[in-house]
Amino acid sequence: MLPRQNRLRKKEDVDRVFRRGRPVSGGLVMIKHLGSDSDSATPRVAVLVGKKLEKKAVHRNRIKRRLREVIRLHVDQLPAGRDLLIVARSSKIRDISWEKLVEDTLSLLSKISN
């Protein structure tokens, strides 16, 4: 589980990042990022998987768990002072290998950091 200080918890914050955040897209995942409103330099993250992508909650939750675990293991590589919204874009994300998921997500994070 992500540490509490690294979670984007309020609906207003998630909506703000979704509306005004700058997108960085890959084939499987899109990351929207925006400077944080808080004074903290710790990055905050939320993961979204829409019903259009996966109808069954079991599948949506599996995708979210996998993405959150990638972020948890690489929280030190997140850009400081940013709010990140990770949006799943393809249902293939459920079936791809762990290594491919990590590689794709980290490549998008490196684009944000630069």
Q: State the amino acid at position 89 in one-letter form.
A: R
pTM check: above 0.85: yes
Query: Residue 2, Cα to own-chain centre: how many angstroms?
Result: 12
pLDDT in tens, the chain (114 residues): 888 888 988 999 999 999 999 999 988 999 999 987 766 778 999 999 999 999 999 999 999 999 999 999 999 888 888 999 999 998 899 899 999 999 999 999 999 876
* Strands (DSSP E) found in the chain: 22-25, 29-35, 44-48, 82-88
Q: Domains along the chain?
A: 4-108 (3.30.230.10)
pLDDT for residue 36 = 77
Q: Is 83 in contact with 13 (CB distance < 8 Å)?
A: yes
pLDDT for residue 39 = 66
